[in-house]
Structure 1
Amino acid sequence: MKGYKYRGRDTFERDLESILNNQLYASSFDKLNDPFEATFKEEISQFGETLKMLGVDSSEVKHNFKEVLDYTSKLGIYSLSYTPINELMWAHYSSSHEGFCIEYDIEKIKWSEFENRFIKELDVDYKDAIPVLKWDDIYDLENVLKKMYATKSLSWQYEKEVRLLFDNYGLKSYHSSALTGIYFGAKMSDNLKQILINSLKNRDIKFYQISKGLNSYHIESRLVHENKRIIINKLDFDSFEILRTNHSIQIEVFDIWYKDNDISTDAILSFVKAFTENISTKKCIINIFNDKSIQHLLGKSPLTKEEYLQFADCYIADYNYVTPNVIYPYPYQDIRYKEYGGQNWKK
C-alpha cells in the first residue's frame, strides 16, 4: 500500500535532509494542526464508580484506562494520505503547488528497525460526532486507538488519511527502498526539481509532474523521470525460486531453491551477495536448498527420520547477515543426521 506526504516550499532544505538520511518525523499529538485531536467522550470512569457502588473492585479498570490516557503524551504519529492527486492537499500542505509530495511504501516503513517501535496503522474515520469510549472498549485496544487517535470531523475527510502510530515521537529511520516516488507541484521551480532528482541518484525512484487537467478543475500526474539503482552484483533470476518467506519487523528470512549446478562456497556466496543487493530490503537470513521437493517440509516439526535425512541432504547452505562474508554448508548434517545413518555427513 502506498502513502503520500505533502511537503511545502519553506521546509524544502529540511525535508531534503530527512529524505537523504532515510528518516521521517513522528509528531506528538499536541503538534498536530487539528485542535480537536484525541477528543472524545468517555463513560469508563462512570462505569468504574458504578462497580464501586456495587461492591466490585474497579481498580483494574481505572488503572488500565489511566495507562491509555497517559499514553497520549508519549505517542508519535506520522500522517499520510492515500492519494497524491488532491487539489486541497496541494493547496494546504504543499505551498499551493510550490512544494512536492513523497510516495512511500507503507509496509516498508513498518519494517523499519526495532527502535522505531511501530504500534499500529490506522485509517482515519470521519464522523459528525465526537466518539464515545464505552466501558467494554477498554478490552479492545484497536477500537480504543481508533476512537482516541484516528477519528476526526467530516470536514477533514478530503485528506483520506492513514496514520502510523509509534510508541514515542521523534525521528524514525526507514530503509531507503521505502521511498518510491516524488510528485512535483504544478508551480514547483525547475531548480528544486533538479535538486531532488540529482540528490536521489542510485535509488529506485520515479518522479511525476502534477498539472491541471484539460478542461476540468481536476489535477493529474505524469511520469517525467526515473532514477535507477546501480546494481554491482547482477542477479540471474532464472537461477533460483523463492519457496517461502518468513519476515519479521527486523529481519527477512528466505527459503530458496538454488537451481545452479555449481554449489561451491564461492558460487553460493556470489549468489547471496547478488540476492541481497537486488531483493532484500533489510537484515537477511537465506536458507538454500538444491531440490524443491522439500518445500512441504519447510517449517514442519518434528520431522520423521526419513524426512530429516531428506531435508539435511537438500539443505546445502545458509547465510546470516551477522557474518555477511560466510556461508555455512549443510547445516542439518549434524550429530542427529549421523545417528540417523546419513550417507553424506560433512561435520
Structure 2
Amino acid sequence: MALGSADGKSIITREELELKTAQWLLKEDAASDQAFNKAAHAYLGKLHYKLYKYQQVLSSEAEKEKYLRLKRHLQKHEMSLSCPSRFNDPFDCQFAFPDDLDGELFMRCKNSLDAVWRVGCLTEHFDNRLMWSHYADSHRGICIEYDFSSFSPSLDRVVFAPVVYSSKRPEFTRELQDHLSHNQLNLQDRQYLTSALFTKDTIWKYESEWRILKGVHICKKYGAYLRCFMCHHLTQMPGCYQESDPYFEFTMPPISAVYFGAAINDSCKGQVAKKELQELCSRAGIPTFSMRLDKAGYAVRPIPE
C-alpha cells in the first residue's frame, strides 16, 4: 500500500508513533502491523509526506567522488544506503552487552549488522539549524526533499520507520546469546536484532529521524527479501551471496525540491557548485530554494529561485 493512500487527518504525536514503532518492530501484539501502518500514514500526512536528506556539497580534490555521487543522486533520484558502522555515533545500532560476553560472540553480533543491512537516514524538517550545521557543512551544503506519498516499502523490499529515541540501549539478552552462539536464531530473535537499527540515544532527538533499511545478504534459496528475517545464519553461508560494498545505491521516491544552504555563496567554489546543481535541477524539473538567515530571529527561511 502506498503511504499516501491512508487518511492523514488523525492526530498523532512523534512520541506515540515511536511507541507503536517499537511494538511493531518486536511484534508484541497481533495487530502491530496494522497499528503501525495506520499511525505512520497519519503522521506522515501531517508532514505532507515529505522527508529530507542534508548533504555536503563542497569537498576536497581527494573527495571529488562524493560530489559526483551527489550529482548522480539528483539525476537518478537515488540515495546511498551505508553500513551501520559508518554512522557518526559509535553507540548507534549497538546493544547493551554484558561485561562477561565472549569476545568472539561480541564481534559476531556487532559485525552481523554490517553483513546484512545498508541504512539510509532522513529527517522531518528542512529548516533545522542544527542539521544544517552538522550534516550540510555549516550551511554550505544542500537539503534534498523527497515526496513519499506514493512510496511502498513492501514493493521496494525495505523496512521503513522512524527512529525510536530511548535512554536505554537494547539489551543483548542471555537467551539471544545462547541462540546466536548455536546458530539457532528464531524469528523473534531476528526481529529483536533488527530493532537495534531503529534505536538511538535521546540526545539525538532533535534529528526527528526516519530510516530505510535494505537487506543485502542474499540467499539463493529465498532470494533478496530481508535476509536477516529469513536466513538461519547471520554470517555468509555456502550458497549465499554477501554484498561487500559499504554502500547501496537505492532508488528513492521523487525529489520534490532542493534547498541550498545560507552560506553556500560564501566562497567562489560554493557559487560554482550551486550554479551547476541549479542547472541540473532545472533540467530535471526540480524546484530549488535558497535558505536565508532571518533578519531578527534564530531561523532560516526558504526563498524560491
TM category, shorter: 0.5 to 0.7
Between the aligned partners of 2:69 and 2:263, the Cα distance in structure 1 is 20
1:154 equivalent in alignment to 2:202? yes
Aligned-pair identity (%): 24
Identify the residue that residue 302 of structure 2 maps to in structure 1.
Answer: 221
Residue in 1 that maps onto 2:95 = 40
Residue 248 of structure 2 is matched in structure 1 by 171
1:134-173 CA deviation, whole Å, 9 max, x = no partner? 6699528655523x10111122111111110000253324
Report the counterpart of residue 180 of structure 1 in structure 2: 256
Greater radius of gyration (CA): 1
CA contact (8 A) 2:96 2:170 kept: yes
Indicate conservation of the 8 Å contact 2:281/2:287, yes or no.
no
- The whole-number CA distance in structure 2 between the counterparts of 1:67 and 1:38 is 11
Q: Measured at CA, do residues 111 and 156 of structure 1 come closer, stay the same or move farther in structure 2, by a change above 3 Å?
A: closer
Unpaired runs of 5+ residues, structure 1, are 47-65, 226-347
Q: Distance in 2 between matches of 1:142 and 1:68?
A: 16
Give runs of aligned pairs for residues 321-336 of structure 1, distance below 5 A: none
Q: 1:145 to 1:207 in 2, by over 3 A?
A: same
Match status 1:4 vs 2:52: yes
Question: Where does residue 118 of structure 2 map in the other structure?
Answer: 76
1:182 partner SS: strand
Give the letter for the 2:118 counterpart: G
For 2:226, the equivalent position in structure 1 comes to: none
Over aligned residue pairs, what C-alpha RMSD do you find? 3.2
The separation in 2 between residues aligned to 1:13 and 1:68, in whole angstroms, is: 31
Q: Which runs of 5+ in 2 are unaligned?
A: 1-48, 60-65, 102-107, 177-185, 217-245, 266-270
Q: CA deviation at 1:133?
A: 5.2
- For residues 81-125 of structure 1, the C-alpha deviation after alignment (integer angstroms, 9 at most, x for no partner) is 11111111111111111111111124556569x7xx632012111
- The 5 Å alignment of 1:31-70 reads 31-41=86-96, 70=112
Is this contact kept in 2: 1:97–1:186, CA < 8 A? yes
CA distance in 2, matches of 1:118, 1:69: 22
Match of 1:209 among 276, 285, 290: 290
Q: Which residue of 1 aligns with 2:194?
A: 145
Q: Per residue, is there more helix in 1 or in 2?
A: 2
Q: Is the 2:84–2:119 Cα contact (8 Å) retained in structure 1?
A: yes
Structure 1 ranges of 4+ moved more than 4 A: 66-69, 107-112, 133-138, 140-144
Greater strand fraction, Structure 1 or Structure 2: 1
Q: CA deviation at 1:2?
A: 1.7
Distance, in Å, in 1 between the alignment partners of 2:150 and 2:248 is: 16
Paired residues of 2:75 and 2:284 also in contact (CA < 8 A): no
Secondary structure at 1:200 match in 2:
helix
CA distance in 2: counterparts of 1:109 and 1:193, whole angstroms: 29
Aligned runs of 1:103-142 on 2, under 5 Å? 103-106=145-148, 110=152, 118-132=157-171, 139=188
TM-score (ref. length: structure 2): 0.56
Q: Is the 8 A contact 1:5 1:103 kept in 2?
A: yes
2:131 aligns to what? 89
Matches of 2:140 and 2:97, distance apart in 1: 42
Query: Any conservation in 2 of the 1:108–1:178 contact (CA below 8 Å)?
Result: no
Describe the shift of the 1:68–1:99 C-alpha distance in structure 2 as closer, same or farther (beyond 3 A): closer
Does the 8 Å CA contact 1:91/1:97 hold for their aligned counterparts?
yes
Output the amino acid matched with 2:213.
Answer: L
Aligned length: 199
Aligned partners of 1:39 and 1:67: how far apart in 2? 9
User: What SS does the aligned partner of 2:89 have?
Assistant: coil
**Structure 2: distance between partners of 1:42 and 1:106:** 36
Aligned counterpart for 1:194 among listed residues 248, 253, 275: 275
TM-score, with normalisation over the residues of structure 1? Answer: 0.50
